[in-house]
Chain A
Amino acid sequence: MTKLHRAFDSVLIANRGEIACRIIRTARNMGLRTIAVYSDADQFAPHVAAADDAIRIGPAPVNASYLLIDNIIAAAKKTNAGAIHPGYGFLSENAEFAQACQNANIIFVGPTPDAIELMGDKARAKRRMIDVGVPCIPGYQGDDQNDQTLKNEAGRIGFPVMVKAAAGGGGKGMRLVTQADQLSDALSTARSEAANAFGSGFLILEKAVMAPRHVEIQVLADSYGHTIHLGERDCSVQRRHQKVLEEAPSPVLDETLRRKMGEAAVKAAQDIGYVGAGTVEFLLDSNGEFYFLEMNTRLQVEHPVTELVTGLDLVEWQFRIASGDALSILQEDIEISGHAIEARLYAEDPANEFLPATGNIAYWQAADGVGVRVDAGVSTGSEVSPYYDPMIAKVIAHGPTRREARQRLTRALKNTKCFGLTTNRSFLIDALENSVFAAGEATTNFIEKHFPLSRSDHADLTSNAVLVASALLFRDAEAKMSARAIAPMVGLNGWSSATKIKSPYRLCYNDTAFDVTLTSLGANRYETQLGEKHAILEVDQQNEATAHCSINGENIITHFHCPVGAPVNSRIFISIDGRDFDIENLNAIPAASNEQAGEGAITAPMHGLLAELFVSKGQSVAKGDRLAILEAMKMQHEIFASIDGEIVSVDATAGDQVAAGAILIKIEAIADI
């Protein structure tokens, strides 16, 4: 065995967000000089601040920056980077990029271009795995992409069938088809999504294994043919094929099955001469049968759960393998200790079909505590822009048992202070607290089966939140205004020489207005009235974002943030027990004299590209008719008619980049005759 000498002392991280920050952390610990790349949108992003060096690679859109191989290579040359770590997503599974690194004499932290290319082509990968003897799902992965061929193949495999992008990953370009007549539509949308996301519209078909578990094996392979696995991760809790909760070990694997799946994964990796960290994904059915799904030739988003249960730093091993080190650990050295669960905190709206949300993070403070790890790529003031993935952070908890890991994670999520935009936090908490998940019985249909939850039981929570909001808004104004006074006299707060002053608050939460009156009783005590509810409220403020409140003696721990900016005191974000409330103080907002968008005004649900427009002025439409397709976050969102009527104006054209809330189309209701 000839030892390779490829040592490098600097690394460029061709990525952004939390993964860039996470890679920089290990790289710095190893003494490497770290170089961040950034687009115009990321100039002040945390990953740029965290790195020793940073270099601009282009404008905000990914295909003008993070996806531009030439720019990244040029940046690496300019900064004298010895190696490039691609992270996940972007160019991480792009063989051409790996090749370009090689050509430029820069070490690519990852497998060879051949391995990437092979595994990147789902059809080829599957054929190869079948040859090696790794169990695979029956399907079609032929080159003939004719619709008719695909339809025939689907018929042969038998419905339900999964349509997938051959080059894909992450659920993009993926469609489940339960009946033959849905196939055509699924093929066309999957093809277009795939073409957009991966530059190739090639599709494969697979038999859909219903309600399976998603179990994947982490492998590590050095350049000398030594390959081990680090056990599994169970990523069954998915939404639209996006992982939501991931854990290690899987609640259902026993030692035998773990060994069997581990061996299959090692075999797959070894067969293709895999080098570095990789993941072999399997579907596991209820009988313990598993099928090869795909291999991810990169670091996974959910790698921290493996790190927490094995005590290994996967990024460190990636660097060591890339620099030519041999794996110094043997399979029998790997010990799984305790249990770890990861939750992906996203800027998205669970109440609105999980539409990605954009905006400013007005306040961010990660939770801490024993066994808690937070991998975040944001800080207070960060912008979640429409250009990139809306993941805010990964919150991960480790504990001696699954139950403790789950409880620690739930608690950590509840104590995560993330204000300013809509997140999936309460959804994550609901999922973690769900009895099916708690029992370790969640399969890939967990979310569609158990969500959305009925929210009616939260009425009392809402009124508590509104009361707490009134007091915290009052205090915010009190502090801000008295800071402007010449000689603020704290002891006189709330005092009036004649009658007590009752402050009226009209608060708006979720389009519902609440009228609260609040009277300061001095010393952090308030008398409040909300409808019939009369309450004495006490506020014991712990720090700028946390207050221990009590409502008629009931203790309520509240995290909150009053955003800066005009109008002052007009909005407060409240989080109680992991539930988020975005509450507006209508009395602080001047009356709008502008006309409001009526029910017939169709607005863009988010920033994006208006990909297709199906209607024109003068056309009649029925409620529910498809009007347009908005492409954003690499996904297509259909826009439907909100009312029956006639299109009176079309205010955008296909190909336009539109802002969230922009009026696209106006429909006028047809008057009843």
Chain B
Amino acid sequence: MTVFRSKIDTTSASYQTNHQEMLALVEKLQELNLRAPVRSAKRKERFESRGQLLPRDRLVRLLDPGAPYFEISNIAGYLQDTDDEEKSIPGSTIMSGIGFINGVRCTVVTDDSGIKAGAMTVAGGYRLKRAQEIALQQKTPFVHLVESAGGDLLNYTVEGFIAGGSLFANLARLSAAGLPVISILHGSSTAGGAYMPGLSDYVIAVKDRGKAFLAGPPLLKAATGEIATDEELGGAQMHATVSGLAEYLAEDDSEAVLIAREVVGRLGWNRHCTIAPTPSFHEPEFDPDEILGVVPVDYKKPYDVREVIARVVDGSDFTDFKPGFGVSTVCVHAEVYGMPCGLIGNNGPIDPDGAVKAAQFFQLCDQSDTPIVFLQNTTGYLVGKHYEQGGMIKHGSKMIQATTNVGVPRITFMIGASFGAGNYGMCGRGYDPDFCVTWPNASTGVMGGEQAGQVMTIVAEGQAAAKGVDVNREQLAMQEKMLAHLFDRQSSAFYTSGHMLDDGMIDPRDTRKTLAFLLATVSEGRQRTVRPNSFGVARM
């Protein structure tokens, strides 16, 4: 037992300031989280008049009451639909997450047809794709609640068309990997979308509402001149009795959801995953809510990342690995909800000692099959003559190699700065961690905006000096400012999360719960035995 002794004074001015500033960001996150549900709920009467449930209500009824739910890519598409920060709706026309259906951990995607009638957007496409990848990697059944107006023809791009193909390929991969794909046809799923049910293992279609056809009446008329009704071409009843595209016919949304629960329940999915029972554990000695006051929003202000770890791990109890070596790189062993993990955090830039310490730590975690948690807050690897000569590049590379190639699950939290190769060594998105989650204060970039501006100014000055000309000071100042803006705008967590450079943004106070949920997810995924087949299950 080595319970951490916190040095945080919750009555201090700096704690209060941190708390206030972080809370403002959290409130912004909460407000963004509510935008899509509120917008979608405006269509409630419309849905009710059609005898339908709002997409979010379908989802809630599908999930087990009270079971935890992790929303994937909750900020996806923010500032992609519009530059207007006030009007942009994060989440796009898709809801995706990991939740429980009849006790089975599932990846669930719900078309939010309350927004733009569920039309597929670029961000929505990426969100769907990421959910499929997660299902594939974490070996969960994949459930899709379909109701989509289809592709957004007004914003058509050929790249989007080609990239969209991977969404269908993934369904085929899931089925072949032995992961059941279950779709509920709540509404239309037309043209390309028709392959959503087509490539599903189980299809539940809602009577009178669920539709799937390659060409609807207008396109059919345009293409061949044939005149036919919706129901004839792809109605739920037709698919359940004639074409065989649907396995189950539901009276309404509510019944469809109950059928889906039944289908998942009868998979007996949890028979094929044996996990050692988690031992009992203690909550942290220090309140996880205090994270808001512990962490300065300004990443330039230093703090001890152990204060964060103490508010995340069981009993605030951890074993500090090589605490006297590479001191600004903090590696610890601890448990979260009884699940062992190795955590790495940064108390400053990574130096050669820190890099080799981390590389060794990762290999040890790999050796003992212990998931690694990256609490990423680094301005990069140390630069300068001393460090370059000390082998910073080769030592940093060792860390990056280890980060990349460990076989154990990796979960990254972007909790502050993420600059330069530090992003790589600390398992940024490019390193395909199992999950990458961000706090709202995180800041990401190849370098800081200020530095980028200054770099270009120094380069320009150098070029001018070489040519023997005077520099235009005014122009340089303007360029420096523009560059700073270009970098800083893209470095904000809201921007990066909107561009899906992570798997979602959380309230820092939820870090412990999120980590517990994700550790359980990756551990289930690693332990699960599946029965893959070559081509996916063919629909007969």
Q: Measuring CB to CB, which residues of chain A are less than 8 angstroms from any residue of chain B? A: 473-475, 477-478, 481-487, 489, 491-499, 501-504, 520, 567, 587-588, 590-593
Contact between B69 and A590, CB atoms less than 8 A apart: no
Are the CB atoms of B514 and A486 closer together than 8 Å? no
**Given A485-B270, A497-B504: A478 and B513 within 8 A (CB)?**
no
Interface residues of B (CB under 8 A from A): 30, 33-34, 37, 57, 60-61, 63-71, 74, 97, 100, 102-105, 250-252, 254-255, 258-259, 265, 270, 273, 275, 277-278, 283, 337, 504, 506, 510, 513-514, 516-517, 520, 523-524
**Nearest residue, chain A, Cβ from B29:** A498
Contact A587 B270 (CB under 8 A): no
User: Which A residues are CB-close (under 8 A) to B506?
Assistant: 497-498
Decide if B516 touches A489 in the complex (CB within 8 Å): yes
Q: Say which residue of A474, A486, A492, A494 sits within 8 Å of B105 (CB atoms).
A: A486
A482-B103, A496-B71, A498-B71 given as contacts; is B520 within 8 A of A487 (CB)? yes
Does A489 lie within 8 Å of B517, measured CB to CB? yes
Contacts of A495 in B (CB 8 A): 68-69, 510, 513, 517
Give which listed residue, B30, B64, B69, contacts A481 with CB less than 8 A: B64
Residues of B within 8 A of A487 (CB): 275, 277-278, 520, 523-524
A474 to B65 Cα, complex, angstroms? 6
A590 interface neighbour in B97, B251, B517, Cβ under 8 Å: B251
In the bound complex, CA of A501 to CA of B62 (Å): 12
Most buried by A among B71, B258, B524: B258
Which of B71, B100, B255 has a CB less than 8 Å from the CB of A497? Answer: B71
B42 to chain A, nearest CB (A): 16
Among B66, B70, B517, point to the contact of A494 (Cβ < 8 A): B66
A485 touching B103, Cβ below 8 Å: yes
Q: Looking across the interface, which residue of chain B has its beta carbon closest to that of A586?
A: B254
Q: Can you name the residue of chain A whose Cβ is closest to the Cβ of B53?
A: A504
CA distance A590 to B261 in the complex (A): 12
A486-B60 contact, Cβ under 8 Å, with A492-B516, A590-B255: no
Q: How far is the CA of A442 from the CA of B207 in the complex (A)?
A: 60
Contacts A485-B105, A498-B504 known; A567 to B67 CB distance under 8 Å? no
Other A-B pairs beyond A484-B104, A503-B65, 14, CB < 8 Å = A477-B64, A481-B66, A484-B102, A485-B105, A487-B275, A487-B523, A489-B337, A492-B513, A492-B517, A494-B66, A496-B69, A497-B514, A587-B254, A590-B250
- Which of A494, A503, A590 lies in contact with B258, CB distance below 8 A? A590
- Interchain CB contact under 8 A, A504 and B61: yes
Q: Lowest 10 CB-CB distances: which A-B pairs, in order?
A: A484-B103, A478-B66, A481-B64, A591-B251, A492-B68, A498-B71, A477-B65, A485-B103, A496-B69, A498-B74
A567 and B337: CB pair below 8 A?
Answer: no
When distances are taken between beta carbons in the complex, the residues of chain A under 8 Å from B74 are 497-498
Given A498-B504, A588-B258, A489 contacting B100 (CB threshold 8 A): no
B267 to chain A, nearest CB (A): 11
* B270 in complex: contacting residue of A475, A484, A491, A501, CB < 8 Å: A484
Select A498's contact among B33, B67, B516, beta carbons within 8 Å.
Answer: B33
List A contacts of B251 (CB < 8 A). Answer: 590-593
Residue in chain A with minimal CB distance to B95: A498
- Across-interface contacts of A591 in B (CB, < 8 A): 250-252, 254-255
| Partner of B70 from A497, A503, A590 at Cβ < 8 Å | A497
- In the complex, the chain A residue whose C-beta lies closest to that of B503 is A497
Partner of B34, one of A474, A499, A592: A499
Residue of B nearest to A593 (CB): B251
Q: Which residue of B lies closest to A495 (CB)?
A: B68
| Shortest Cβ distance from residue B264 to the other chain A in the assembled complex, whole angstroms | 10
Q: How far is the CB of B310 from chain A (nearest CB, A)?
A: 17
Asked if B33 contacts A499 (CB within 8 A), the reply is yes
Query: Which of A486, A493, A588, A592: most chain B Cβ within 10 A?
Result: A486
Specify the chain B residue showing the minimal Cβ separation from A473.
Answer: B65
Contact of B67 among A481, A587, A590, A593 (CB under 8 A): A481
CA distance A587 to B252 in the complex (A): 11
Q: Is the CB of A482 within 8 A of B67?
A: yes
User: Which residue on chain B has the smallest CB distance to residue A494?
Assistant: B66
Q: Which of chain B's residues has its CB closest to A570's CB?
A: B258
Residue in chain B with minimal CB distance to A492:
B68
Interchain CB contact under 8 A, A497 and B517: yes
Instruction: State how many angstroms separate the Cβ of A159 from the closest Cβ of chain B.
Output: 59
A486 to B273, CA, bound (A): 8
| Chain A nearest Cβ from B435, distance in angstroms | 11
Q: How far is the CA of A349 from the CA of B282 in the complex (A)?
A: 51
What is the minimal beta-carbon distance from A565 to any residue of chain B, in angstroms? 15
Given the known A-B contacts A481-B67, A499-B33, A587-B61, are A489 and B520 also in contact in the complex, defined by CB atoms under 8 Å?
A: yes
Contacts of A592 in B (CB 8 A): 251
The 20 listed contacts between A and B (C-beta, < 8 Å) are: A474-B65, A478-B65, A481-B102, A486-B105, A486-B273, A486-B524, A487-B520, A489-B68, A494-B66, A494-B68, A495-B68, A495-B517, A496-B69, A497-B514, A499-B34, A501-B63, A590-B250, A590-B259, A591-B255, A592-B251
With contacts A501-B60, A504-B61 known, is A496 near B254, CB below 8 A? no
Q: Are A474 and B504 in contact (CB under 8 A)?
A: no
User: Please, which residues of chain B bring their CB within 8 A of the CB of A496?
Assistant: 68-71
A536 to chain B, nearest CB (A): 17
Q: Are B337 and A491 in contact (CB under 8 A)?
A: yes
Tell me the complex Cα distance, A69–B5, Å.
Answer: 85
Q: How far is the CB of A355 from chain B (nearest CB, A)?
A: 32
Which residues of A lie under 8 Å from residue B504 when comparing CB positions? 497-498
A373 to chain B, nearest CB (A): 41
Chain B: minimal CB distance from A490 (Å) = 9
A489 to B275: give the CA distance in the assembly, Å: 13
Do A481 and B71 form a contact, CB below 8 Å, given A495-B513, A499-B37, A504-B60? no
Closest to A569 in B: B65
Most buried by B among A487, A497, A587, A592: A497
B66: which of A484, A486, A493, A588 is its contact (CB, 8 Å)? A493
Bound together, the chains give a CA A592 to CA B255 distance in angstroms of 9
Which residues of B sit under 8 angstroms from A474, Cβ to Cβ? 65-66
Contact indicator A477/B66 (Cβ below 8 Å): yes
A504, B253: Cα distance in complex, Å: 14
- In the assembled complex, the Cα of A207 lies from the Cα of B283 at a distance in Å of 79
Q: A488 CB to closest chain B CB, in angstroms?
A: 8
Could you say which of B64, B255, B337 has the most chain A C-beta atoms within 10 Å of its C-beta?
Answer: B64
CB contacts (< 8 Å) of A502 on chain B: these are: 60
Q: Is the CB of A485 within 8 A of B57?
A: no
Tell whether, in the assembled complex, residue B275 and residue A497 are in contact, meaning their CB atoms are under 8 Å apart.
Answer: no
Do B66 and A483 touch across chains, with their CB atoms under 8 A apart?
A: no
Task: State A593–B252 Cα separation when bound (angstroms).
Answer: 10
Q: Name the A residues within 8 Å of B60 (CB-CB).
A: 501-504
Chain A residues with CB below 8 A from B102, complex form: 481, 484
Query: CB distance A481 to B516 under 8 Å?
Result: no
Asked whether A520 lies within 8 Å of B66 as measured between CB atoms, the reply is yes
A215 to B400, alpha carbons, bound, how many Å? 96
Q: How far is the CB of B302 from chain A (nearest CB, A)?
A: 28
B162 to chain A, nearest CB (A): 31
A504 contacts across to B, CB distance below 8 A: 57, 60-61
Task: Compute how far the CA of A593 lies from the CA of B30 in the bound complex, rounded to whole angstroms.
Answer: 41
Bound together, the chains give a CA A494 to CA B64 distance in angstroms of 10
B331 to chain A, nearest CB (A): 26
Give complex CA distance A357, B255 in Å. 31
Q: What residues of chain A lie closer than 8 Å to B250, measured between beta carbons?
A: 590-591
CA distance A474 to B102 in the complex (A): 13
Residue in A closest to B68 when the chains form the complex, CB atoms: A492
Verify B57–A478 contact, CB threshold 8 A: no
**How many Å lie between the Cα of A593 and that of B34 in the bound state?**
36
Q: Which residues of A contact B259 (CB under 8 A)?
A: 590
Q: How far is the CA of A169 from the CA of B372 in the complex (A)?
A: 81
User: In the complex, A498 Cα to B69 Cα: how many Å?
Assistant: 9
Q: Could you tell me the distance between the alpha carbons of A567 and B513 in the complex, rounded to whole angstroms?
A: 32
**Whole-angstrom distance between the Cβ of A125 and the nearest chain B Cβ:** 63
Q: Is the CB of A478 within 8 A of B278?
A: no
Closest Cβ of chain A to B91, distance in Å, is 9
Cβ of B37: which chain A residues have Cβ within 8 Å of it? 499
